[in-house]
Structure 1
Amino acid sequence: MWSIGELAEQAGVTVKTVRFYSDRGLLPEAARSSGGHRRYGHEAVDRLRLIRSLRTLDLPVPDVGRVLDEEDALEDVVAKQLREVGSRLAALRWREAALQLVQDCAPQERVERLRLIGAVSAPPSTAPVARFWRRWLLPARLPSRLVSAIVEAAVPQPPADPAPEQVLAFARLHALTSGDCSGTGPCQPAAHRPEAGFRPAVLYDGLVEAYALASAELRSRRSPHEGEALDCFVSAYAHACGARDTPAFRRGLSGQLTQDPRIDRYWDLTAEVRGASEPTAGAAHDWLCAALDTGTARPPA
């Protein structure tokens, strides 16, 4: 049996360290001397060395206790620590880009940029942007599975390693979507606002398919034109309100789909946050509207 001093010497640590882990139940004593002093068995050396190794990885004391007491706990504890480290690294990368953004701008821009950046957490949360879609843009009667799919596609995720310009774009997007929409009139486009007999689920299901077809056209760099994507787009609106796809319906729809400047701005900022990757739903919508305008502008046969 070793005394606390002997154990500390064997493990290459201080007596204070041994006492700290003993008091927290990580290093149980084997017995007490007649004078009430702690005594440890030889296996305590290996246990103490394992504790030190785990603490070197910055594992909290409760997690170290789990690893010591539960046979399969190490994998879960390490995975949890990796998530926490990843979150801290993401926050640091975001702050670095934000600081660079402030450092590189003109003096007269700094107050405004600090205001925008200061309203966003690090790493940033997409919850305000998602609320913007759920509260203002999507009809209340839309099925939850469709709402989730739309929000997932529409809300940009902050880049893992952002450039300063992406930090600024996300901060502006946060400010745009955090504002009160109720004082500026209805936020939903006129063609989306529910009326008698309107079926929003039919519309949004059709738009998801139409945007996917238009995105393929955008990736191929094709100019807006009539075809499958446009037919799917118009059909979604027609079926949602119980109408037929006729030239007259297309002319009326073209007039209804005048873009809301706020939504235009949303998609511009979303494209900046995502960088040059996949086309946004806004880009697909613009392509389809341009194709619709091209078709309705053509004189009837």
Structure 2
Amino acid sequence: MVDTVNDDTELFTIGELARRTGLSVRTIRFWSDSGLVAPADRSTGGYRLYDTGAVARLELVRTLRELGLDLAMVRRVLARQATVRDVAAAHLRALDAEIRMLQVRRAVLRWVVRSGSTTEELRLMNKLARMSAEERQRVIDAFVSEVFEGVDPHAPGAHLAEAMSALPTELPADPGPEQVEAWVELAELVGDEGFRQRTREMAVAGARGGEQQPQGPDPERIAEHAGGAVRDGVAPESAAGGEILGRLIGPELSAEERVELADRLATFTDRRVERYWHLLGVLHGRPPMPPRVPAFEWLIAALRAHARDASAS
């Protein structure tokens, strides 16, 4: 039954309002008790009555709730403390973040289906893959801060700090299993004490000045000749290894200079550090670079093995 306050204002009971809006009586009563839709009057029997404006207000509340807004935010919108546009934009960002999270979880499941895993491996994969961008960056920043503490940011070689902190702020929109795996491996790597100590050793040595950098053969020549020796299985200490070494260094280097060069090259040669750069490349979607550390390791071994040849000559 419809009552009227005057001839121009039509009023509805909660039941009538429910039929008009499709909402349940219980929901309308709850929103009314929460102050979102206030009654315009009460009947002679004390029942709440609502005007036509309540219909539009209820439709707006329903839309905002379906967007995921809590009651406090709905109340702000209705009180015009926040515009629907601003709230929609905020929830769009939240929805985008949720979609990204679901995509990461899908990538994790793909990895599990493809490779299989133990329960512990799956737990770790989910934990690390579900980290927020801020949490992921915090892990890398803590690593870089520890490794480069006290290193002059303007010193030669100190630019490595900036390069090593270049973790993407977000995983790709639809990360592949290899990118999820790369993030997990990277997080484990920077958490390894031995890796942090080794990286700091390189950072400190690199910051001492240009004279401390290894002045050896051109890296491209090392990749060509020493890398070729690795591929062909040429032992560094063999006569053939000595011939290849002769293409990379001059005969004028003394035994002591060869050992010194080997030691300096070894300071900046580490497979795990190279792996760090590779993993960053995977996360950035860059094509993989061929590994160079094996070629440098061969050269270092060859320099030490043939140092006595130089002293005998």
State the secondary structure of the residue aligned to 2:200: coil
Aligned counterparts, 1:226-241, within 5 A? none
Please give the alpha-carbon distance, in whole angstroms, between the structure 2 residues aligned to 1:134 and 1:224: 32
Name 1:35's counterpart in structure 2. Answer: 45
Asked whether the equivalents of residues 116 and 172 of structure 1 are also in contact (C-alpha less than 8 Å), the reply is no
Task: Give 3-state SS (helix, strand or coil) of 2:18's partner.
Answer: helix
The TM-score with structure 2 as length reference comes to: 0.61
Alignment correspondent of 1:240: none
Distance 1:11 1:118 in 2: 43
2:105 pairs with 1:92:
no
What is the DSSP-based 3-state SS (H/G/I as helix, E as strand, rest coil) of the residue aligned with 2:49? strand
Among 15, 18, 37, the alignment partner of 2:28 is: 18
Question: What is the TM-score when the length of structure 1 is the normalising length?
Answer: 0.63
Instruction: Report the CA distance between 1:4 and its aligned residue.
Output: 1.6
- Any conservation in 2 of the 1:55–1:64 contact (CA below 8 Å)? yes
Q: Which residue of 2 aligns with 1:161?
A: 174
Opposite residue 271 of structure 2, the aligned amino acid is P
Give the letter for the 1:117 counterpart.
Answer: M
Helix, strand or coil: the match of 1:155?
coil
Q: Which residue, 113, 117, 124 being the options, matches 2:125?
A: 117
- What is the aligned counterpart of 1:276 among 280, 286, 290? 286
Superposed CA offset, 1:203-249 (max 9, x none): 9xxxxxxxxxxxxxxxxxxx859xxxxxxxxxxxxxxxxxxxxxx9x
Question: Structure 1 residues 79, 256: CA separation in 2 closer, same or farther (over 3 Å shift)?
Answer: same
SS at match of 1:154: coil
Counterpart among 263, 278, 281 of residue 273 in structure 2: 263
AA matched with 2:17: L
Aligned-partner SS, 2:193: coil
Of 122, 130, 146, which aligns to 2:141?
130
CA RMSD across the alignment? 4.0
- The residue number in structure 2 matching 1:187 is 199
Contact 1:3 1:37 (C-alpha < 8 Å) held by counterparts: yes
Q: Distance in 1 between matches of 2:36 and 2:167?
A: 45
> For each residue in 1:147-201, what CA deviation from the matched residue of structure 2 results, as whole angstroms up to 9, or x when unmatched?
9x9278622342221111111111111111123359x745314463598xx69xx
Alignment partner for residue 81 of structure 1, among 88, 91, 94?
91
Say whether 1:103 aligns with 2:113: yes
Q: Which amino acid aligns with 2:98?
A: R
Distance 1:2 1:118 in 2: 52
> Which of the pair has more CA radius of gyration?
2
What residue is the counterpart of 1:139 in the other structure? 150
Q: How many residues align?
A: 236
Unaligned segments of structure 1, at least 5 residues? 204-222, 226-247
1:270 maps to amino acid: L
C-alpha distance 71-190 of structure 1, shift in aligned 2 (>3 A): closer
1:173–1:18 Cα change, 3 Å: same
